[in-house]
Amino acid sequence: MASSANNLSWRHKKAKLFQSFCLGVTVSAVTLLAILIYQVSMLGLPWLDGQFLSSFPSRFPEKAGIKSALAGTLWLVSLTASIAIPIGVLAAVYLEEYAKPNRLTEFININIANLAGVPSIVYGILGLAIFVRTFALERSVLSGALTMSLLILPVIIIASREAVRAVPSSLRQAAYAVGATRWQVIRAHVLPSALPGILTGVILAISRAIGETAPLIMIGALTYVAFVPEGPMDEFTALPIQIFNWTSRPQQEFHELASAGIFVLLCVLLMMNAVAVYIRYRGSRE
């Protein structure tokens, strides 16, 4: 009796220990993020004003701004999202709900998993060869968006598949049992239940697209752009490229501008996350 009681208290201790360990890891991750934000804000915030947001790049730090880069990123992200999300989600639904588990499906599965691990520069080379050259889309936002779509498709597909797979089969059966067709089951039950998971994957993927620089440089996005893209065929630059450009200059002022740029980039990311949280919240209330 005594020994089993001892044993129990040791087990409680182990549970506590693990809990503290998890807490410690979480706190250090959050602390690192806080330090990053602190540094970026200290350097960048003084530069962050209306003039910064509404000016084109310039040789003079006090006149330089991120108007073209911000506009380029917004263009790039909206185009990428409208290309990659429908294709990715539909592909996931096909693979989970329709595809028969045969050799071909297996082959596709393995390839998608592999594609998710391909370095982004390789997608840049692919985009250059296919979109820029073969399809003659030049160095347009559209080329960039198509390249980015290729890059994030595997992530969207994998996350959406996980979400679709997590929908309990008893729910599907309940729907089939009242005479629903496959499409009705997917439309009314599978997709709504999978939506939060799909959204999480989509947001992660889009965030990655916002931060990627290498493939854009590869397909020839410009580093000095004094205009805002007005259509998908216009040339463009993007926030990470502008930030990279500023950090590679010797003057301290430009480094501070880069910090301001990073701050704006973080804000764009946070805003997207907020939208996702809102959609989730609305979904869970229904």
Partner 1 sequence: MQDENRTVLDINDVCISYAGELAVRNVSLPIYEKKITAIIGPSGCGKSTLLRSLNRMNDFIHGCEQSGYLGFHETDLYASSTDPVEVRLRIGMVFQRPNPFPKSIYRNVAWGPSINGFNGEMDERVEKALRQAALWDEVKDRLQDSALNLSGGQQQRLCIARTLAMEPEIILMDEPCSALDPVSTARIEDLLFELRENYTIVIVTHNMQQAARVSQYTAFLENGVLIEYGDTEDVFTRPANRRTEEYVTGRFG
Q: How many residues bind partner 1 (CB under 8 A)?
A: 20
Q: Which of residues 181, 248, 251, 252 is near partner 1 by CB under 8 A?
A: 181
- Check residue 48 for interaction with partner 1 (CB under 8 A): no
Interacting span for partner 1 (CB under 8 A) from 82-90, 176-184, 240-248, 249-257: 176-184
Contact code string over 217-256 relative to partner 1, x by CB under 8 A: ----------------------------------------
Residue 166 within binding range of partner 1, rule CB under 8 A: no
Say which residue the tokens 């959609």 belong to. 279
User: To the nearest whole angstrom, how small is the minimum distance from the Cβ of residue 181 to partner 1?
Assistant: 5
Cα 246–Cα 251–Cα 252 angle in degrees, nearest 5 = 90
What value, to the nearest 5°, has the Cα angle with vertex 284 and ends 283 and 286? 70
Per CB under 8 A, the list member of 23, 27, 35, 188 interacting with partner 1 is 188
Range in contact with partner 1 (rule: CB under 8 A) among 16-24, 55-63, 127-135, 187-195: 187-195
Contact 286, 267 (CB under 8 A): no
To partner 1, the closest distance from the beta carbon of 203 in angstroms equals 22
Q: Which is nearer to partner 1, 108 or 115 (CB)?
A: 108
Q: CB under 8 Å to 55, separation ≥6 — which residues?
A: 63, 64, 65, 66, 67
Applying CB under 8 A, among 173, 248, 251, 252 the residue interacting with partner 1 is 173
At closest approach, how far in Å is the CB of 80 from partner 1?
32
Q: Is 74 exposed, middle or buried (0-12, 13-18, 19+ CB in 10 A)?
A: middle
> Do the beta carbons of residue 53 and residue 67 sit within 8 Å?
yes
**Shortest distance, CB of residue 51 to partner 1, whole angstroms?**
51
Site for partner 1 in 56-115 (CB under 8 A): 101
Tell me if 171 contacts partner 1 by CB under 8 A: yes
* Distance separating alpha carbons of residues 95 and 113, to the nearest angstrom: 13
According to CB under 8 A, which one of 5, 9, 170, 231 is a site residue for partner 1? 170
Q: What angle do CA 254, 257, 259 make, to 5 degrees?
A: 120
**Are the beta carbons of 206 and 272 closer than 8 angstroms?**
yes
Express the helix, strand and coil content of the chain in percent, nearest 5 each: 80, 0, 20
Interface residue with partner 1 among 136, 169, 231, 250 (CB under 8 A) is 169
Please pick, from the candidates 1, 50, 117, 179, the single residue that binds partner 1 as defined by CB under 8 A: 179
Answer yes or no: are the C-beta atoms of 196 and 100 closer than 8 Å: no
Of residues 174, 233, 267, 275, which one binds partner 1 by CB under 8 A? 174
Rounded distance between C-alpha atoms, residue 185 and residue 172, angstroms = 6
Beta bridge mates, 235: 140
Residues of this chain that interact with partner 1 (CB under 8 A) are: 101, 168-181, 184, 188-189, 193, 286
